[in-house]
């Protein structure tokens, strides 16, 4: 599970960097202030803007899927760690807990040694 989580995290970081670059490459619909300047034409041709927009949409969808997957894997990992911790602590509870001794004393009958 650790290898899958690490690999997914690396892919997620690479995807984040790609998304930042693609979003900065896009020009505004009003011939605004893209990273390549405020020209009305795209730097790579007129149909490239549509391609970059589609690629960005696919990467955003992939970003959402990977983020949900990472969140569920991390949640599963934390639950497993908590379960293992409880299993490690459970045998030692009798030694650590003074209430166990008190409960055992309450169950034993008290003998009356009257004078």
Tokens (6 digits) for 71: 């969140």
Mean pLDDT estimate for the chain: 77
CA distance 21 to 47: 18
Q: What is the pLDDT of residue 66?
A: 95
Query: Among 93, 103, 28, which residue's Cα sits nearest to residue 36?
Result: 28
Question: Is 8:66 a contact under the CB 8 Å cutoff?
Answer: yes
Burial class (CB in 10 A: 0-12, 13-18, 19+), 27: buried
Q: What is the pLDDT of residue 12?
A: 95
Most confident among 57-71, 73-87, 90-104 (mean pLDDT)? 57-71
Confidence of residue 34 (pLDDT cuts 50, 70, 90): low
Comparing 46-55, 82-91, 95-104, the range with the smallest average pLDDT is: 95-104
Mean per-residue pLDDT for 52-59? 90
């Amino acid at each position: 599970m650790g290898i899958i989580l690490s690999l997914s995290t690396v892919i997620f970081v690479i995807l984040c960097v790609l998304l930042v670059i693609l979003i900065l490459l896009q020009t505004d619909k009003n011939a605004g202030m893209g990273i390549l300047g405020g020209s009305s034409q795209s730097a790579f041709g007129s149909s490239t803007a549509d391609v970059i927009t589609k690629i960005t949409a696919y990467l955003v969808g992939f970003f959402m899927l990977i983020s949900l997957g990472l969140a569920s894997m991390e949640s599963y990992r934390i639950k497993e760690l908590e379960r293992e911790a409880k299993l490690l602590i459970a045998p030692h509870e009798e030694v650590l807990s003074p209430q166990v001794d008190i409960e055992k004393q309450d169950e034993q009958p008290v003998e009356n040694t009257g004078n």
